[in-house]
Structure 1
Amino acid sequence: MKKLKVNFYLKGDKKNADGNIAIYAKIYLGNQYSTFSTSKYISKVRWEKTSNLRNPLRIDNEVSLKSYLESLEKSIIDKYTELQKDNSITEEITPLYLKNHCFNPNSEEKLTLLDIISKHNNYFKKQVLKGDRAKGSLEKYERMKDVISEYLQLKYKLKDIPFEKVNRQFVFGLDEYLRFERKHGGKSGLANNTTVKYIRNISSIVSHSKTMGLVSDNPFSIYDKSLNEVDTVYLTLEELKKIETKQISNRRLDVVRDIFLFSCYTSYAPVDVMNLRKGNYSLDSDLDSWIHTKRQKTGVKTNVLVIPPLKRIIEKYKDDPECTEENRLVPNRSNSNMNAYLKEIADLCGIEKNLTWYVGRHTFATTVALANNIPMEVISQIMGHKRITQTQHYAKLLDGTVKQHMKGLSENFI
């Protein structure tokens, strides 16, 4: 019989209108656990001062709260004892099983892996509709559901699988399937980074279910493969100027060129460019122009000073019918259309690089910012990164910058 333990703790990110913090419980059975909310709140100061309500109490509501938690703990212990004596139970009694029998005694729900993905994606869809998450991220998770369905059908001949059956063999079997067998672009097998990202995505989905108390464990957390570092593609100053000065009479390509340059001079990712409206554009007290917004992916404020080439683009589309209807700074284009047309622009300009919309973001970090001695910390803030290590991935040192610094160094060793 596994030893049962119930711990109560404060969940700092869950507060009520009075600023009090939610009290959560954690049920331990051996090395497994499951968490749930007690629906009770207390101030952090009183929780610590009373040693988690273990000290003698004089405040009535705290006395009642302590009594409630003790009663809750006793009911869990009693239910565990009862289940242990029930000979009709053939499956393992896990913390999640115990929790469900304590608080959802009539629930017979057996979650499958696709159930868990659907619950996560439905919740994520609500976040997208509210504007808190990106539509592209939702598409990524919806694609994950298709990948899992294909894997189950081809390798297990199943339409779905009980979540409790997802084990180490399943996880690394998925890695093998993606890496060597999944069809993509007429070929069999995906690249390492694509494979790793897929499994990180399903792990993120299951982690959400664990947080919500739907499952007690994330079997994908054992996955230990890592991403290979990929060289960032960016434009040199010469290539950037080639695109900027190229005479293009075709409006379709001209608009795409301008939107791409917009990213080159702001560092904004595609979704952030398309979210911009004229209200994001304003003057400060010195009459300098700024774009004020937040990165949709990270929620970080990314205010950008409008430099001359960027201002020319904004002025160009100020009265454009495509922009005025929805109050946009630049016309609306999809990521796929942008990338297809950028390849045409690269050919027109004689640029032998795989030109995508994200190359504009990389170009800002290197050619526009780093090569002009903008500090890494400032670049990180503009790009909306939460950690400077993210910026270092984008901002590859240019030969000219290296030479500039090494020249100064060499003068000290004449």
Structure 2
Amino acid sequence: MNTPDNKTKRYSTFAVIFYINKSKRKKNGLCPVMGRISVNAETAQFSARIDVDSALWDAKTYRMKGKSREANQVNRELDRLTESIEKYHAELLQQQGYVTAELVKNMLWGIGRKKDTLLSLFVEHNEEYAQKVGVNRTEETYSHYVVVYNHVRQFLQTRHHMKDIALKQLTHSFIEQFDFYLRTEKRHSANTIGGYTILLKKIIRRAINQGTLLRDPFADYRPEQPPQKCRHMTADELERLMATRIASKSLCHTRDMFVFATFTGISYADLCNLSISDISKSSNGTMWIHFKRQKTGSECHVRLLDIPKQIIEKYKPERKGDRIFNMVGYSSTAANLKKVAKLCGIARNITFHMARHNFGTLITLPQGVPLETVSRMMGHLGIKTTQLYAKLTNQKVNEDMKLLSGNLADKFKIYEDKQMPVEVRNVKSSKQLKK
């Protein structure tokens, strides 16, 4: 076969043949079928992963003889391989302007071949992500990707009667329909749908990065935003939680762990893993915590303030092994926090994750600590996440200023010269004054 080479503007030779390797005859007497791809003077051999009886092989047609069931199955598979090789040869020539026998062979077996369907790319992503679990990724996030993959697969099957969909077929309508499917069929909340569609869009970003897609078909999609709940405590609530005397040892321990997290920004999972080796003393005498977040693998560097240092010393006699604190299970911690809130006269539900938000919104940013510093201490992967805490702080400032405006409404008046006509009070330009 002669095909035009776009790079050299000359014709290149291309051929595919199959043969049997008698020297590799197996114990059952069958010989493996081999393939040979030829592009110009270069060849690349590969196994067709088929074994046949050498007596039934036709070396002239590169196929099995006869019309038996076995011969038909083998010949159909060889035809399929030939079609695939010809397709990949044409794709490489069109995309790169040149082609080699080795490149075609690699494409045939998936080496260097880009996934061009949504589910196949999703599977590839999840397989790679699974290998990172325990290194710099968590099992929890991996399980979320698996859930989203299953939802997309079921959505394609039930709503579109498809096993997969080409990436280039994806449109804005697809994710809108998927959103509707999650909302009505799966009965997921707006928060859950938002999280799932974020993961789906990351798969699309992968397709763009590998060059399969030139633009994001979901770029204009905006998931429905649920009413924003206050994710941090008020200063008054925090003061009451810290000042209230608690007789129960277990409840006091939970309160202290919450306060420690509030003044360090450490999550519950990272607090459970916090060890003696994570704490160090600098040359100027300050104490620091250095660790990697379990959720993202990002590094956190937090200087210990007096309150968390006091808590560490308080529980030092109870320490077992290398762990700084003897943490109880999350469900027990959550139940204890509800009891603590009630004892402290706090009406709303308090979750342990609020402590992390307290660190950003109450402890650091309002006291003038720069965003970049807070981001480093909290281990955020990007400054945008930290900016959400700043936004909450600005909202509080806005609310307080509204209250102040109302309180000052009738207390102060600007001086006005009642004898001066209003129109005269307007400042005139120098040209007008000269006139």
TM-score interval for Structure 1 and Structure 2 normalised by the shorter chain? 0.5 to 0.7
2:212 alignment partner in structure 1: 216
Inter-partner Cα distance in structure 1 for 2:203 and 2:93: 18
1:259 corresponds, among 254, 257, 260, to 257
Give the Cα–Cα distance (whole angstroms) in 1 for the partners of residues 215 and 330 of structure 2.
34
Measure the CA separation in 2 of the matches of 1:115 and 1:165.
13
Q: 1:226 aligns with which of 222, 225, 231?
A: 222
SS in 2 for 1:304: strand
Give the count of matched residue pairs.
318
Per the alignment, do residues 91 and 124 of structure 1 end up closer, same or farther by CA in structure 2, a change over 3 Å counting?
Answer: closer
Structure 1 CA distance, aligned partners of 2:345 and 2:214? 49
- Structure 1 alignment gaps of length 5 or more: 7-71, 76-85, 185-189, 408-412
| Letter paired with 1:287 | G
The percentage of counterpart residues that share the same residue type is 27
Rounded to whole Å, the distance in 2 between the matches of 1:4 and 1:347 is 78
Deviations along 1:295-331, one digit per CA (max 9) or x if unpaired, are 45565543222222211221233243xx523x12223
Looking at structure 1, the residues matched to 86 and 179 of structure 2 have their Cα atoms a distance apart, in angstroms, of: 35
What's the counterpart of residue 176 of structure 1?
180
| Residues 354-393 of structure 1 aligned to structure 2 (within 5 Å) | 354-385=349-380, 387-393=382-388
What residue in structure 2 maps to residue 195 of structure 1? Answer: 193
Q: What SS does the aligned partner of 1:116 have? A: helix
Distance 1:142 1:401 in 2: 42
Residue number among 284, 287, 312 corresponding to 1:286 in the alignment? 284
Q: Report what 1:324 is aligned to.
A: 320
Larger displacement relative to structure 2 (369-378 or 358-367): 369-378
Residue 126 (structure 2) aligned to one of 121, 125, 132: 121
After superposing the two structures, state which structure 1 stretch, 259-268 or 198-207, moved more: 198-207
Aligned equivalent of 1:25: none
Determine whether 1:349 maps to 2:344: yes
* Contact 1:117-1:205 at 8 Å conserved across structures: yes
Higher-Rg member (1/2): 2
Structure 2 distance, partners of 1:335, 1:166, is 44
- The one-letter code matched in structure 2 to 1:391 is T
- 1:277 is matched with which residue? 275
Change (3 A) 1:139 1:369: same
- Output the CA distance in 2 between the equivalents of 1:247 and 1:105: 71
Q: Is 2:245 aligned against 1:241?
A: no
Give the Cα–Cα distance (whole angstroms) in 2 for the partners of residues 340 and 95 of structure 1. Answer: 61
Question: Aligned with 1:302: secondary structure?
Answer: strand
Quote the offset at 1:394 in angstroms: 0.9
Contact 1:175 1:195 (8 Å CA) reproduced: yes
- CA distance in 1 between partners of 2:84 and 2:293 (Å): 56
Counterpart CA distance in 2 for 1:285 and 1:243 is 34
Distance 1:112 1:336 in 2: 41
The amino acid that maps onto 1:173 is: Q
- State the alpha-carbon separation in 2 of the partners of residues 112 and 311 from structure 1: 53
Contact 2:88/2:104 (<8 A) preserved: no
Please name the residue that 1:167 is paired with: 170
Q: Give the conservation status (yes or no) of the 8 Å contact 1:96–1:216.
A: no
Counterpart Cα distance in 1 of 2:342 and 2:117? 49
Query: Matched residues in 2 for 1:96 and 1:200: separation?
Result: 35
SS of residue matched to 1:217: coil
- The 1:386–1:128 alpha-carbon spacing in structure 2 relative to 1, beyond 3 Å, is closer
TM-score by length of 1: 0.61
Letter in 1 for 2:378: M
- One-letter amino acid of the counterpart of residue 129, structure 1: G
Structure 1 residues 380 and 129, CA, compared in 2 at 3 Å: closer, same or farther? closer
State the shift of 1:383 in Å: 2.3
Distance 1:122 1:361 in 2: 32
Equivalent residues in 2 for 1:94-113, closer than 5 Å: 101=104, 103-106=106-109, 113=118
Look up the equivalent residue of 1:161 and give its one-letter code. D
CA 1:329–1:207 in 2, change beyond 3 Å: closer, same or farther? same
Q: What TM-score does the superposition give when structure 2 sets the normalisation length? A: 0.59
* Bigger RCO of structures 1 and 2 (CA < 8 A, at least 6 apart): 1
Q: Deviations along 1:132-167, whole A, 9 cap, x unmatched? A: 123332232232233224434543466x42555862
**Rounded Cα–Cα distance in structure 2 between residues aligned with 1:157 and 1:284:** 62
Residues 17-74 of structure 1: CA distance to partner in whole angstroms, max 9, x if unpaired? xxxxxxxxxxxxxxxxxxxxxxxxxxxxxxxxxxxxxxxxxxxxxxxxxxxxxxx9x9
Contact 1:342 1:356 in 2 (8 A): yes
The letter for the 2-side match of 1:118 is: V
RMSD value, Cα? 4.5
Residues 138 and 282 of structure 1: CA distance in aligned 2, closer, same or farther (over 3 Å): same
Work out the CA distance in 2 between the residues paired with 1:275 and 1:209: 36
Is the 8 Å Cα contact of residues 210 and 217 (structure 1) preserved in structure 2? yes
Contact 2:118 2:164 in 1 (8 A): yes
Partner of 2:151: 147
**Cα 1:157–1:135 shift into 2, 3 Å:** same
| Structure 1 residues 270 and 283: CA distance shift in structure 2, 3 A | same
What amino acid does structure 2 have at the position aligned with 1:371?
Answer: P
